Structure 1
């Protein structure tokens, strides 16, 4: 059994002791995570990210609080990808299990369901997978997010389209934009961010459509795109939307110089058995990439984290796992700096966080958003994801136009 596997086994053993603070000195974080239901794949990435960080922290001696040292563990419940169930389980964790510190679920919708519960009981929640900016206009004081909020996801694609126009001797205001988004809070935030950024350049929105409810056919939108010939198509419909765009564009012979999507990895659009080479050249929004130069003392570099995750779980970590690990790391750091297990003192320490992790820089504004880390765009080149924007983090050159 390798050291990390031993660490994960130790976590399971600690939880068997029960209680938020076990007799052997364990800080138990609570988490309702989607292990079944429509978010189960991303929920599994989330849980594995949490578990990897917990094992790593315990391997490094745990968390020192004053003159005592604690191990960390996570008490999980399956929220079944259902908001009502997530809220119910959050209350169970706090009231029945005595949890004083919460980790977030997967998705903005489930985070939205849990946040009023943790706020009511004044229990801090560091979440890693709820990106909707609507979470941060409610005045919550106990909610903190390590990820970039959703309106930022595809704004960099608009910046990139403006840059390409200038390289061609055109004005950014000449760029024509097509937008297709799912009718859910996350994707509508993305739409708002894209429209806002496009407006700042004076770009013209030639298509602004919503995906069909079942995300099974976007013929009506693609007919418009084919006729109006935009310079860039921006689309967000979670993994089903990414798969739909990648499949239907070549079927309908729709060609656009630049295509930018969310959820490329979870849709597995580089799988040639499913999609052939049709994903080649697609721009994919990402919170994080293993090639980035962030680093910390716990995991080392982003690349070091990716190697450890792949060794442990057998696949390259998606950003959902990385940001989940970062949330646990921030908790450990804040509890140490607070020098206390009092939730209010820990909450204040979280609010004062200003540090770099392997996942990126973390600094929260007054609403609990992380304002220190940008989104990145990765382009699929020869079946691999290559960071092409922002230029500060780029590891390769943009291939343009889209094949």
Structure 2
């Protein structure tokens, strides 16, 4: 279904009736114009920047190999990007995707960063019937069913799946008292909810703190003091890039040092890695969904990223972005 939809997006309009007089043929396409918004600033900038870099590595890799083959033209076409910074704001992203479609007249779209921004653009892509292969969006099955989207394809594991992975780890190492904190957004709320449910269902530990905080918070000491008083064995924080740094800094300041500290996706960014020394990072567990050894193309893109940017790609956003790009490419071809 994706291949059919994408092929339709790249086709030139076909005449259904002969015209009375000859008209000049439209020039053949010289490139495939792909548009997206991405979080280069705001709360998601740490991961959004890396997702953008992953897109760039893929584009350069594709163009180095001649482009994407389009059967209609019988040749490969290079990829051209049109993109904007959505500042990690869902409403801005929604507006930008409409601009990409109506004003920039892109052929295809790539996904933005983050679950809450993926969800924000669903009405736009449904309206204009342009498919998007999602990547950094963990959406509950019930929400996917509620959306009834025909044009956004979610590829990230559901929160139910990732939450169970956390819980099995906690149960396996014998944790008995757990604090769960979460940023108040779709993805992080869902993960926290399923963590709590699975822990309670499996009856291996007590949830001693369960509380959310606004995304964009600048001080979480009050909440963290509750955690310190509860004295948990493990602390789970479902975070995004900026609040992952905030939580870790303030836990260190308040001398909160649980046996296990699980930081979700927010602790994977280069910004987080560069912020803290190895002693602080020792023992922190983060969620990831890919490895360069999983597929030959992933390994090739990994090496190109390392060569271009000079550091090990630390974020799950990179692998997810490449998966979505390669899926788009294969659907066109």
TM range (shorter): 0.7 to 0.9
1:128 and 2:135 equivalent? yes
Aligned to 1:279: 281
CA deviations 1:234-253 (Å, max 9, x no partner) are 11231233223322333333
CA separation of 1:276 and 1:323: change in aligned 2, threshold 3 A = closer
Aligned to 2:172: 163
1:186 and 2:193 equivalent? no
3-state SS in 1 of match to 2:286: strand
What does 1:2-401 correspond to in 2, within 5 Å?
A: 23-66=28-71, 68-71=74-77, 72-133=79-140, 136=144, 137-165=146-174, 175-202=176-203, 203-211=205-213, 215-262=217-264, 263-266=266-269, 268-271=271-274, 274=276, 277-290=279-292, 293-296=293-296, 299=297, 301=299, 304-317=300-313, 318-336=315-333
3-state SS in 1 of match to 2:192: helix
- The CA distance in 1 between the partners of 2:224 and 2:87, in whole Å, is 34
3-state SS in 2 of match to 1:104: coil
C-alpha displacement at 1:123, in angstroms?
A: 0.7
C-alpha displacement at 1:332, in angstroms?
A: 0.8
Report if the CA contact (8 A) 2:298-2:319 is conserved.
no
Q: CA RMSD in A?
A: 2.8
How many residue pairs get matched? 303
Report if the CA contact (8 A) 2:138-2:156 is conserved.
yes
CA deviations 1:110-133 (Å, max 9, x no partner) are 222211100111110112223343
Aligned to 2:16: none
TM-score when normalising by structure 2: 0.80
CA separation of 1:155 and 1:248: change in aligned 2, threshold 3 A = farther
Q: Which has the higher helix share?
A: 2
Q: Which runs of 5+ in 1 are unaligned?
A: 1-18, 166-173, 337-403
CA deviations 1:344-363 (Å, max 9, x no partner) are xxxxxxxxxxxxxxxxxxxx
C-alpha displacement at 1:334, in angstroms?
A: 1.1
Aligned to 1:374: none
Report if the CA contact (8 A) 2:215-2:243 is conserved.
no
- The CA distance in 2 between the partners of 1:80 and 1:242, in whole Å, is 18
3-state SS in 2 of match to 1:30: strand
CA separation of 1:221 and 1:111: change in aligned 2, threshold 3 A = same
- The CA distance in 2 between the partners of 1:214 and 1:48, in whole Å, is 24
CA separation of 1:116 and 1:188: change in aligned 2, threshold 3 A = same
CA deviations 1:50-107 (Å, max 9, x no partner) are 1211222233343333361232322223333332222222112222333342111112
Q: Which has the higher strand share?
A: 1
Report if the CA contact (8 A) 2:47-2:241 is conserved.
no
Q: Which runs of 5+ in 2 are unaligned?
A: 1-11, 13-25
C-alpha displacement at 1:288, in angstroms?
A: 2.6
C-alpha displacement at 1:295, in angstroms?
A: 0.8
3-state SS in 2 of match to 1:288: coil
